[in-house]
A = this chain, B = another copy of it.
Amino acid sequence: MVIEKRARKPEQKRERRTEILSAAITLLRERPYNKINIADVARRAGMAKGTVFLYFRTREELFLSIASCEFDQWFQAMDRSFAEIAGTSEKAARDRVLNALSNMLKPDALLISLIPIVHTVLEQNIGYVQARDFKQMLLKGLQRTGALFEQCLPYLHRGQGVTFLLWMYALVIGFSQMAAPAPVIKKVFQKNPALRVMQIKFSASYADALAAILDGWKAQNAAQDAPGPSRRKEKS
């Protein structure tokens, strides 16, 4: 007497997929990745375990899909911000950019809990196609957003937009891990105030480090561009 809902049309299938992703996202807000199993996701999505595997070949693909969406949204958010900023006078631009980036990735963002495992876990057990599509999506965003970014800060050389995003990404990986210590480490920090130097505050460190990088490039590029009369913004 089970009412079986069957997704026959592509549209329905996409919807089903979304339901699963939503369920996984909900769980991901409650507890860390390694405490979530497929049975939980299926139950939360109101379907059978096997059904989940019809839409995602492995547990990692499912969560990488979430990461993928979040990355995409991140890129889009950056695009919106950068598009607004592009063309503004230099000094203000830097601060606005940094401010935007900092606001965009709050410590409680989903991405913060996924980024640390993208390389070490999620990408370890996925199919070739999924891997390729993910990387292609990233590349597209990287280039599009990177180009926009370069327009925000005139002193940047061509290619530094992408590089900036990659470094930023590396910093997110690092800072997010450092900012979310294990319970025992939290306890250590609680009982040993002196150690709290190592207890990173994500947003502050993130913004400061990005600022330093930009300022560093500005100086480097100025030095590099100044001497000769010819302006080559393309890095050799």
Say which residue of B132, B181, B213 sits within 8 Å of A216 (CB atoms): B213
On whether A197 and B142 interact (CB within 8 A), knowing A170-B171, A215-B219, the answer reads: yes
Say which residue of B132, B167, B170, B188 sits within 8 Å of A132 (CB atoms): B188
A3 interface contact, C-beta 8 A: no
On whether the beta carbons of A128 and B188 are closer than 8 Å, the reply is: yes
Interface-lining segment among A10-18, A44-52, A117-125, A226-234: A117-125
Say which residue of B116, B169, B187 sits within 8 Å of A178 (CB atoms): B169
Kindly state the separation between the CA atoms of A192 and B213 in the bound complex, as whole angstroms. 30
On whether the beta carbons of B120 and A188 are closer than 8 Å, the reply is: no
A87 interface contact, C-beta 8 A: no
A211 interface contact, C-beta 8 A: yes
A38 interface contact, C-beta 8 A: no
A1 interface contact, C-beta 8 A: no
Q: Is the interface of A mostly helix, strand, loop or mixed?
A: helix
A126 interface contact, C-beta 8 A: yes
- The contact size tier of chain A is 35 or more
On whether the beta carbons of B205 and A212 are closer than 8 Å, the reply is: no
Interface-lining segment among A20-28, A72-80, A101-109, A133-141: A133-141
On whether A117 and B120 interact (CB within 8 A), knowing A139-B198, A142-B198, the answer reads: yes
Kindly state the separation between the CA atoms of A117 and B34 in the bound complex, as whole angstroms. 14
On whether the beta carbons of B218 and A184 are closer than 8 Å, the reply is: no
Say which residue of B128, B181, B217 sits within 8 Å of A119 (CB atoms): B181
**What is the minimal beta-carbon distance from A233 to any residue of chain B, in angstroms?**
17
- 21 example contacts (A-B, Cβ-Cβ < 8 A) are as follows A119-B178, A119-B182, A124-B182, A124-B184, A126-B184, A127-B184, A128-B188, A135-B198, A136-B192, A139-B194, A142-B197, A166-B198, A167-B212, A169-B174, A173-B178, A212-B220, A215-B215, A215-B219, A215-B220, A216-B217, A219-B219
5 closest A-B pairs by beta carbon, nearest first, are A170-B174, A216-B216, A212-B216, A215-B216, A173-B174
